[in-house]
C-alpha cells in the first residue's frame, strides 16, 4: 500500500484528534492512529475506548488499505517538516512503514489495523442539528463548572436537556452551577443525556475553527457529534442528573450590579492576599459602594478594595471562594454583571446584565463560604 499526502495537512488533522490519546491505555494498539484508505480518501481514527474520533482528508493513492501507525512518533516527525509531499509505503505482510520526504527516508513499525477496536455504531439514534458557534459557546460557558469527584460521576460531565422549544446545558460540582439555555432550538422528542468532560474539551478546541452545523446523534448509551470531515463519538455517563432547578433560589431581594472588568481585576488583586486553602474573599455592600476584602491570618496578609456599584436591598456581607467567582466572571462577556442574593448563607446568582443574544440565557450559581467574624 502506498499513498502521498501533504505533511502540514496531515499534521493539522492528527493534532485535532490527538487529544483523545491516553497515556495509560489498557490496549497497546490505542497508542496508534488508525489509517484507512478507501477510494483515494484517508480516514484517520484515534480512540481511548470511551471516546473515538475520526477525520478525513484527500490523498493520492491507487489502492485501499488499513494500518495502525504509532501516534507519538508520527506526530513528532511531522512537526519537523516544512510543507511538502510525503510518500508512505506500507508492507502489508509485516506492517513496516517507510516515509519518504524530499530529504530522506524514515522507517517505523506499525500494527495490523484490523485489530484496532471498531468504532461503535449508534443504533436507532435521535438526531438534532445545532450551529457550531452555539455548541462551542455552550461548552465554554459550562465546562469549567463540571466536577472531578469520582464518587459522583454524573457531575463530571455536562447535562444536555433537549425539549421541544428549548435546549439547556447544565454543569455543576455542588459548589458552583452553570445553566445555559437556548430558546431558538428544540428537539422533536424530549430527552436528556450526560456527556463526559474529556471529549467535550476536545470538541471545544476543534469547533473554534468550524462554522457549519453540527449533527448530534444520540441514544441511551452513546452520543456522536458530526461536522465537516470529523466525527466524535463517546459513551455517555450513566446515572440520573441532580435536580438542578431545586437548588436555584428564587427569592433574591439583594441585587448587586457592577462593571464586570473592574470587578474581575479587583478580585484578581485581592484574591492574591486570601488564604491559600479557602481562597475566601468578603463582599460588603452598602448603597453604591462594594468593598472587596481578603485576609490570610497565617501570614498576616490582607487586602481591601472599593468599587462603585449599584446595590438594591439590605446592607450585607457575604463570603465567596474567589477562584469560583474569577472563573465565572472570566467566562462571561457582558460589560456589567449582577449578583442576586438572599442571605449570607444562601447561594448567589450571577447573570450578565447585557445579553449578546436574545435567544440565550446564562445563569451561574455560586455557594457562599462562611465568614469567620
Please state, in angstroms and rounded to a whole number, the distance separating the CA atoms of residues 63 and 4.
Answer: 12
N-terminal to C-terminal alpha carbon distance within the chain: 74
Backbone angles phi, psi at 361, to 5 degrees: -130, 130
Confidence of residue 366 (pLDDT cuts 50, 70, 90): very high
373 pLDDT higher than 90: no
Q: What's the gap between Cα 311 and its chain centre?
A: 34
Please state, in angstroms and rounded to a whole number, the distance separating the CA atoms of residues 372 and 207.
Answer: 45
Are 247 and 365 in contact by the 8 Å Cβ rule? The answer is yes
The domains found in the chain, sorted by start residue, are 2-115 (3.10.150.10), 126-245 (3.10.150.10), 248-369 (3.10.150.10)
What is the pTM (predicted TM-score) of this model? 0.91
Q: What is the pLDDT of residue 187?
A: 87
89 pLDDT higher than 80: yes
Q: What is the pLDDT of residue 209?
A: 87
Tens-place pLDDT, residues 247-267: 999 999 999 999 999 999 999
Confidence of residue 242 (pLDDT cuts 50, 70, 90): very high
Please state, in angstroms and rounded to a whole number, the distance separating the CA atoms of residues 274 and 370.
Answer: 14
Confidence of residue 372 (pLDDT cuts 50, 70, 90): low
Confidence of residue 149 (pLDDT cuts 50, 70, 90): confident
SS3 letters across 299-341 = HCEEEEEEEECEEECCCEEEEEEHHHHHHHHHHCCCCEEEEEE
Q: Grid coordinates representing 330?
A: 472570566
Are 312 and 306 in contact by the 8 Å Cβ rule? The answer is no
Please state, in angstroms and rounded to a whole number, the distance separating the CA atoms of residues 268 and 9.
Answer: 41
Amino acid at each position: 500500500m502506498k499513498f502521498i499526502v501533504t505533511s502540514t495537512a496531515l499534521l493539522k488533522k492528527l493534532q485535532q484528534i490527538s487529544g483523545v490519546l491516553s497515556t495509560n491505555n489498557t490496549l497497546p494498539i490505542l497508542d496508534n492512529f488508525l489509517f484507512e484508505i478507501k477510494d483515494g480518501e484517508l480516514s484517520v481514527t484515534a480512540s481511548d475506548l470511551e471516546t473515538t474520533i475520526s477525520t478525513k482528508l484527500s490523498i493520492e493513492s491507487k489502492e485501499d488499505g488499513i494500518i495502525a501507525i504509532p501516534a507519538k512518533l508520527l506526530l513528532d516527525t511531522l512537526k519537523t517538516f516544512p510543507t511538502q509531499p510525503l510518500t508512505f509505503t506500507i508492507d502489508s505482510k509485516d506492517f513496516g512503514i517507510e516515509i519518504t520526504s524530499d530529504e530522506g527516508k524514515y522507517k517505523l513499525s506499525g500494527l495490523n489495523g484490523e485489530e484496532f477496536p471498531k468504532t461503535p455504531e449508534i443504533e436507532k439514534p435521535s438526531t438534532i442539528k445545532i450551529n457550531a458557534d452555539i455548541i462551542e459557546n455552550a461548552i465554554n460557558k459550562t465546562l469549567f463548572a463540571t466536577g472531578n469527584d469520582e464518587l459522583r460521576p454524573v457531575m463530571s460531565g455536562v447535562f444536555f436537556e433537549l425539549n421541544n422549544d428549548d435546549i439547556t446545558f447544565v454543569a455543576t460540582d455542588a459548589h458552583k452551577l452553570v445553566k445555559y439555555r437556548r430558546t431558538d432550538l428544540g428537539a422533536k422528542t424530549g430527552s436528556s443525556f450526560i456527556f463526559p468532560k474529556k471529549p467535550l474539551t476536545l470538541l471545544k478546541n476543534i469547533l473554534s475553527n468550524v462554522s457549519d452545523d453540527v449533527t448530534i446523534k444520540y441514544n441511551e448509551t452513546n452520543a456522536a457529534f458530526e461536522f465537516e470531515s470529523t466525527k466524535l463519538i463517546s459513551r455517555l455517563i450513566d446515572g440520573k442528573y441532580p435536580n438542578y432547578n431545586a437548588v436555584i433560589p428564587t427569592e433574591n431581594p439583594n441585587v448587586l450590579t457592577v462593571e464586570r472588568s473592574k470587578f474581575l481585576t479587583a478580585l484578581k488583586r485581592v484574591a492574591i492576599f486570601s488564604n491559600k486553602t479557602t481562597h475566601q474573599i468578603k463582599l460588603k455592600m452598602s448603597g453604591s459602594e462594594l468593598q472587596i476584602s481578603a485576609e490570610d491570618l497565617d501570614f498576616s496578609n490582607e487586602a481591601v478594595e472599593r468599587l462603585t456599584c449599584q446595590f438594591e436591598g439590605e446592607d450585607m456581607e457575604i463570603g465567596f471562594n474567589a477562584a469560583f467567582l474569577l472563573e465565572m466572571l472570566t467566562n462571561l462577556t457582558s460589560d456589567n454583571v449582577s449578583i442576586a442574593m438572599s442571605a449570607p448563607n444562601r447561594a448567589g446568582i450571577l447573570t450578565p446584565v447585557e445579553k449578546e443574544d436574545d435567544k440565550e440565557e446564562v445563569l451561574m450559581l455560586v455557594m457562599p463560604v462562611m465568614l469567620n467574624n
